[in-house]
Amino acid sequence: MATTMTERDLVLHATAIKRHAPLPAIAHLAGLPEATAQAVIAQAVATGRVIEARGAYALTPLAGVALTARYARHFADVREDAAFVSAYEGFERINRTLKQIITDWQTLDIGGAKVANDHSDKAHDDAVIDRLGALHEQAEPILAKLAGRLPRLQYYADKLLAALEAAEDGDPEWVSDIRRDSYHTVWFELHEELLRTMGREREE
């Protein structure tokens, strides 16, 4: 199953999800050659749909509204596909567990008070990474079902596995570092992708 998204909307959609990202990251997420994405971005900058700052690109608010209005047409098929909707709902269920894991990664409970995790307690960090691995085992069949209906979503499955393996291999920055495609960063982007696909709002 594929969407009706044009190259322009694929690039704008990727720009919206990345929020403020350089061209290679946008092209990769859009699944397009950099030259194609660059041509679309250049046109979008010229017409005021995208702004550039320090080599990164972001969608303007009006372009974001217009793009969101086109989602109903782009994603009409998957919104009515029972298997895709079921997989999406499965993602939302385990998303709650992911949030708790990331909270436990970023904070420690010291005498009932939450303090920032300085990552000096290796046993604690290893236990959290083990929980992340267990969560990923639950996520894998869900990701496979989502990508089975919308193949572009395989991007996220590959990125999540790579981040998990990097963390398990001893680099803890791959758990939640926002400056790289860490597990939490990619998960957050996947959640944003699915919310846009389904026409839902993020619950804070």
Please give the share of the chain, as a percent, with pLDDT higher than 70. Answer: 98
The residue-averaged pLDDT of 100-122 equals 90
Per-residue pLDDT band for 95 (boundaries 50, 70, 90) equals very high
Q: Domain 7-75 - what CATH class? A: mainly alpha
Question: Is residue 173 within 8 Å of 164, Cβ to Cβ?
Answer: no
Radius of gyration of the chain (CA): 18
Report CA-CA distances (Å) from 42 to 15, 16, 19, 22, 52.
Answer: 13, 16, 17, 13, 10
Q: Is the pLDDT of residue 4 over 80?
A: no
pLDDT at residue number 111: 84
Give per-residue pLDDT as tens, 8-25: 999 999 999 999 999 999
The tokens for 86 are 């079921």
- Alpha helix segments (H runs only) across 31-108: 34-46, 61-74, 76-79, 82-106
- Alpha helix segments (H runs only) across the chain: 7-18, 23-30, 34-46, 61-74, 76-79, 82-106, 122-149, 154-168, 173-176, 183-198
Q: Is the pLDDT of residue 1 over 80?
A: no
H or E element at residue 59:
strand 56-59
The residue-averaged pLDDT of 57-74 equals 96
Question: Is residue 23 within 8 Å of 44, Cβ to Cβ?
Answer: no
Identify residue 124 by its one-letter amino acid code.
H
Per-residue pLDDT band for 202 (boundaries 50, 70, 90) equals confident
Tell me the pTM: 0.92
End-to-end CA distance of the chain: 31
Question: Is residue 14 within 8 Å of 26, Cβ to Cβ?
Answer: yes
pLDDT at residue number 164: 98
